[in-house]
Amino acid sequence: MDGATRPIVPSFTRTARLKRCTRLAAALLLCGGCVDRAPTLPGAAVSECRYAIEPRAERELVLDVTARCRGPRVTGLALSRPELGDAVTVLSTSAPLERRGTRFVVEPPRPLLIVRYRVELERAFGEHPELGLRAGSSVLAPASSFLLHPLPLEVETAVIVEATSSLPFATALERRGGHYRLAAHEIPVASYAAFGRFTTIPLELPDEARLELVLLDGPAPDRGLVRSWGLASARAVVDFYGRFPVARATVFVVPVPARAGTLDGVLLPESAPGIVVHVGAESGAESFAADWILIHELFHLGVPSFRGEGRWFDEGLAVYFGPILRVRAGLLDEQALWEEFAREMPPGLEALAQRGLVRARSGNGAYWGGAALCLLADLEIRTDSGGKIGLEDGIRRLHASGAHASEVVPLDRALALSDQAFPRPVLRPLAARFARKTSPPDLSALFARLGVMRDEAGRIVLDDDAELAPVRRAIVHGN
């Protein structure tokens, strides 16, 4: 990939189908010391921080940021990403600060701390592409690249962000009037922002939901094709959930010169979800019709985030339902779906069974092994109900409870909520069975019962007279 458009890849990277599709949960950075923070004190030690962002140089993007933090005990600021290193310089302060590694500390604590600092953003991501990228005259970066977080870092602290320059600025952060809002503990996984030259393509969806495509600068595919691709992917997800999963989301489309097709995707969920997708500048209608990445990432919006134990469920659902949604939307042939399932699920389930769910946090086991467990659950649910109810009904029940990508829930609670939609619990017993190493079932025998067979040439053919052929059709086409 061209060096100017390397993907923004967060630290917790997960790979699928040799392409990058990552998702972060806020809780990952709140457990295990991933960010530098002080213990939570009784009441909010820092009640509010306001950040005013002013780009100073467009060619090599430099940001001047003024942070105003108020509260009973403001003890300083800290780098949200340690990789920023010397790319951050304090310009002025309302009280003397001492730099201690990634922290800028004031002693004694103050009720008000004003710090003006400079971030040489492109200097930072020159060595750490996860911190940002340049595409033509535009720059894209997660908010953690330019927002220092307050000390102590607490859930109660409100953060308000405003852009004070005429340099065009777009972000996936939650908008309220002329400002953007999030909680301080969300800064390390806060969504993306674009500076400079870009094109915004708004998509109006049912129930006043809004999906915004931000096409970055440079040679790019036809804008009409980009819009149609975004709208078709969003509608496929709307058809699944019955509505778009969140009130607002932003997709940043990064054009890659001399390439065709979608190359990778990344999702950051806070405070409103932002997705980055690298798309070849030479992409035509066929390339967009063949894409699976955007539907995969948009599907994630309706499923809550989990701590480490939920990776198989989170990614397994998106890998399993993504192709099904594409078939229902007329974007994928049913035979191609089963070809992919028959090829990828057996080794994925074997990898999952060898490691167990507790350790399946990356790789083929978490993705295709998780998808295989979704198929096993769907088969059991549809067999019990005569095809009238499927796994999708449980996921809709989970989403209807208020779950979405920006919310972190315990895995067991998510499984229990989903199980309420079925005649009897299915997901929790299945998870218990695969919690540790186990022997996987013979998927080839299950595929044969579904009528998914191979002919003499090794191609997948579908037998509509097979024992579970009606179940197979219900899985693909819905109730």
392-427 pLDDT, tens digit per residue, is 999 999 999 999 988 889 999 999 999 999 999 999
**What is the amino acid identity at position 218?**
G
Task: Judge whether 151 and 78 are in contact, CB under 8 Å.
Answer: yes
3-state class of 465 per DSSP? coil
- Residue 361, pLDDT score: 62
Is residue 49 within 8 A of residue 159, CB to CB? The reply is yes
Of 300, 323, 344, which marks where a domain is finished?
300
One-letter amino acid at 421 equals: A
Same domain, 91 and 51: yes
CATH number of the domain residue 64 falls in: 2.60.40.3650
Same domain, 329 and 269: no
18 and 35 part of one domain: no
Q: In the prediction, which pLDDT does 213 show?
A: 98
Residue after which a domain boundary falls, among 300, 328, 356: 300
Q: Are residues 342 and 359 in the same domain?
A: yes
- The rounded distance, in Å, linking the Cα atoms of 72 and 93 is 18
Residues 268, 384, single domain; the answer is no
Instruction: Of 127, 129, 156, 154, give the one whose Cα is nearest residue 140.
Output: 129
Q: What is the pLDDT of residue 387?
A: 87
79, 151: one domain: yes
> What total of structural domains would you count in the chain?
3
Q: What is the pLDDT of residue 22?
A: 34
400 and 340 together in one domain = yes
Q: Residue 14's pLDDT is what?
A: 28
- What is residue 123's predicted lDDT score, i.e. its pLDDT? 87
- pLDDT value, residue 12: 25
State which of 166, 194, 222 marks the end of a domain.
Answer: 194
* Residue 44: predicted pLDDT: 75
In which domain, by residue range, is 414 found?
308-477
- With a threshold of 0.85, does the pTM exceed it? yes
Residues 419 and 319 in one domain: yes
> Do both 135 and 34 map to the same domain?
yes
Same domain for 332 and 249? no
205 and 157 both lie in a single domain: no
Whether 138 and 54 map to the same domain: the answer is yes
Whole-number pLDDT of residue 43: 61
DSSP 167: S
Token pair of 386, please? Answer: 């005569």
Contact predicate 344/368, CB 8 Å: yes
Residues of the chain with pLDDT under 70: 1-43, 58, 360-362
